[in-house]
Amino acid sequence: MFNLKDKVVVITGGESGIGLAVCTKFAAVGAKVVMGGIQADRGTEVAAQLTASGGQVVFVNTDVRDRHQVDALVDTAIDRFARIDVLINNAGVFDGFADVTETTEELWDQIMAINLKGAFLSSQAALKHMIPQGSGRIINVSSIGGQVGRADGAAYTASKFGLIGFTRQMAASLSHTGITFNTVCPGAIATDIRGNSASIIPSAAHLMTRGVGTTDPEALRKIIPAGRKGTTDEIAAAIIFLASDEASYVTGHDLTVDGGYLA
């Protein structure tokens, strides 16, 4: 439906979960994908698999907490493909539903560094190229936890609310440059964000066992009207739309994909 052939797409956190689904979809429609991720072995394997299937995918080991690594990710896109059309700030970690009394300073700092500062650093790096070229898409992956206070823990909620505010401010101040800025806000999605978060922030591993783990439709329907968790492909489809030319007049928007959780 959407023509993204030869578009140059940079994504953080691309080696698993939502990021992997996004990389797979973009590669399938002919985009050139530069995937950043903290899991080097996994990222290298995924890039090789997608390339073997006919895609153009490059993996760059990237910790979004480090400006130099983020700059290297964007520079790879420029060096290999001479431009950057889409930036997807997807790298993120979870806080295990820790409320403010349970949240350590270390947990708070790590959540903010990855979920919010990482998007700031990546956006700065990409805008150095997007503004002169007069076009681009920046899509930030937030959460329903960035729209209501009851969905997640204190640090995660604050970071995702912050990401929406950051996106809206960029849209208000820079949409005249030809770039659009939007967020996608997933609801409960079937991913391994808890396991990944525990590996990145070991001190919070004990928190990742808490929360809704059921897959029973009747139990889920009490929380999610659709009666199920969403899939990573459903989030990737929303991102594909926002990256497309068809979404050229959509900016400063929060696209919620939550099965009716906020209804």
Q: Mind giving me the DSSP string for 122-146?
A: HHHHHHHHHHHHT-EEEEEE--GGG
The amino acid that residue 121 corresponds to is L
Per-residue tokens: 260: 């009716």
- 77 Cβ contact list (under 8 Å, min separation 6): 8, 10, 34, 83, 84
Distance (Å, whole) CA 151 – CA 124: 29
Find the Cα–Cα–Cα–Cα dihedral 65, 61, 257, 8, rounded to 10°: 110
Any catalytic annotation for residue 156? Answer: yes
Contact present, 136 and 248 (Cβ < 8 Å): no
- 52 Cβ contact list (under 8 Å, min separation 6): none
- Among 93, 71, 41, which Cα is nearest to 204's? 93
**Start-to-end Cα distance in the chain:** 28
CA 180: distance to chain centroid?
Answer: 16
DSSP code of residue 260: T
Q: How far is CA 24 from CA 1, 27, 28, 35, in A?
A: 16, 5, 6, 11
The amino acid that residue 13 corresponds to is G
> Which residue among 59, 156, 166, 181 is the active-site one?
156
Catalytic residues: 156
